Every structure is written in C-alpha cells, then in structure tokens.
Structure 1
C-alpha cells in the first residue's frame, strides 16, 4: 500500500501547480533518471534528463487488490550505437516513479508522491524505419516473486541444518566431477 499524500503535496495539487512524472531506473550500465518535461531538472540531489514525449510508463494503475501488475518503461528515439552497447541484464533491479508538482523555475515542490516501486524483469529493443531505437523495460509490482521458481540449490551443509542426520547429499560433490559410462544391461 502506498503511503498517503503529504500535506505539502496535497496543497501543491490544490493550487494546480504543473505536474511532472519522474522515473528512476536502475540499469547495469548506470542508474537512469528521466522526467516528463524537456531539459534537465534537479531533484533529490540528482540531475534528471527530460524525455518529453519520447518517454512513457504504461500502464500505471493504483489498486487495493493483491495482484501482480506488469508495466513498461519506454524510451524512444535512442541512437542505435548507444542501444547496441547497453547491457540487457536488468532482472531484479529496481525502478521507481513519482508524481511531482513543479514550482517556479521548474523546481520540484516538496514531497512528490511515489506511484511506482517495481522490480525489473527484462529489456527489449525495437528499431523504427528511421533507424532510431525504442528501449522497453518490463517491470512488475506486487508479489510477483511468489509465482517464480526459486533459483536455489541445496548443499549438503544446508540439508544438515534442517535434517541433521541426513547424509543423502554428501556424495553429490564427488559425483559432479566423475565420468560415468552408461552401458546397456
């Protein structure tokens, strides 16, 4: 459940201050920070790059149901040379998005409202006819990890923590490096 909107954010919304969307995406090549306007923006000690209409997050839904939501962070118009050098192993990295109100001089008003806190799953690229590339990173919110298989294998030591007298896994290390010849009987 998302935290409540603070009084300062509620006041900025009542005053109908201009809205902006801020997105922070962890990536193996470095954390990327974008905002929905044009040009640079300073907030929270970082410089945010204006993505304008070239950036999007779809779909953003707020619900009280315990369900897994999938959303995509998209950035269009990327130079193909830049896109070809990007590492695509984004699984289990984080992504966040905030709804912010802007003050004078494109300053972010206090307490933007966090609307997304997601875990990245995979990245895909698609090329347009003019050669520019769109990067799409799929993320999931909620309890999606409950539907994933565990990426874990037990060792003999872990087995003995739960079952102290079980010696069934003691022979596994010896079997790993053996050549076994299968012959018909």
Structure 2
C-alpha cells in the first residue's frame, strides 16, 4: 500500500523536472487570528488567503513518515523575531489549536515569482502543543530570539492517515470483498516457531 497525497499533474511535472522551486505553507490557528506564512519571500495567494513570506527567518522540522506507523509525531515551527514581538505571544493559550503544513511549487525562483504551479498538498497537520522561546548569540555579537511552536498529531490526525488499512476498512469500502478474510491470522501463524520431531 502506498502513501498517496493526490498531487495534481501540474505539480507532479514540476517536481519531476531537473529544477523546481519548492515552497512550504504553514497555517496556525492562533488565538488572536490565523497565522499564514510560507518559506519564500513576498505575499502569495493560496486557498483564497494571502500568505506572508518569512524566507530565511523561519524554519520547519517535520517528522519522518513511517508507513504502517500510527505513533504520535511532532513538528516544530520556528521564527526569528525581536523579543518585543515574541513576548506578546508567549502567554497565548495555543494548546489543542489546529496547524498544518502544505507543500507547493512556484513557477520561478522565490523572490522573483509568487505564482503557484498546481495545487499544494498537505505534508503535516496536527494540534499546537508547545510554545517556547530561544535566545542565542548571533554573528554580530548581539542576541537572536526565536519563537518555537510544536505541533503534535493526535488520534484525529492519525485516523486520517492513508498508511493504515485493516480488514474492517476494506469491508467498509468494498462490501462483499473477502480478500483479507483468510489472512487475518497469517502473521500470528508465521511467527510460531516449529521444531522438528525427533
């Protein structure tokens, strides 16, 4: 069984070419209003909304996908900003609010193009779980502050995963199909160690 994201033909052609221009969109359902950012520069219109480019000031750490695993995973979103900007958000109650990342392609180099090729696909979605701030020295002898938001998958996100399939799921989608009926105990039988008779 393969993990299928439903990528349209235009975007599939773009990512299959020798050179393409990726962009990742991040949506956070922040208490004071939705946050919509992307990894390129400038404003991009997507899904009827305007998304603000953060360029090199933002970073995303997405979990590795493991087919067949339904374990909880976490993504981390970071944004460099001034302490005054970050302090205004550190006390917001974000726990359990929605967030997601979508992958798309631009028609040209970021900064030169804000036009999407095809429709972006969702890479990760979950609920905001953690919020924190890092302070570290920068190259100029000053300090750099960064806000970090952690998103975790929960039961609702894992239930929508394409990588899980059972006999019950097959029967619900294809009534009368008995393909998995006789293989239910196959794994258990394969794990039994048989000793030769002496």
Q: 1:38 to 1:59 in 2, by over 3 A?
A: same
Q: 1:2 to 1:115 in 2, by over 3 A?
A: farther
Instruction: Give the TM-score, by structure 2 length.
Output: 0.65
Instruction: Give the TM-score, by structure 1 length.
Output: 0.69
Deviations 1:98-148 (A, max 9, x none): 1101125321122111101111112111223434421101111253899xx
Q: Specify the alignment match of 2:179 in structure 1.
A: none
Aligned match for 1:53, one of 56, 81, 100: 56
Q: CA deviation at 1:7?
A: 2.4
Deviations 1:3-58 (A, max 9, x none): 33232321222234311111111111221111111222222222211111221111
Q: CA deviation at 1:2?
A: 5.6
Deviations 1:160-181 (A, max 9, x none): xxxxxxxxxxxxxxxxxxxxxx
Q: Does 2:128 correspond to 1:124? A: no
Q: Specify the alignment match of 1:69 in structure 2.
A: 73
Instruction: Give every structure 1 segment of 4 or more consecutive aligned residues whose post-TM-superposition deviation is greater than 6 Å.
Output: none
* Residues 100-115 of structure 1: pairs in structure 2 closer than 5 A: 100-103=104-107, 105-115=113-123
Between Structure 1 and Structure 2, whose CA radius of gyration is higher? 1
> How many residues align structurally?
145
What secondary structure, in the 3-state scheme, does the structure 2 residue paired with 1:111 have?
strand
2:26 and 2:37 mapped to 1: Cα distance?
5
Unaligned runs of 5+ in 2: 159-198
Report the aligned-residue RMSD: 2.3
Q: Does 2:39 correspond to 1:36? A: yes
2:136 and 2:32 mapped to 1: Cα distance?
23
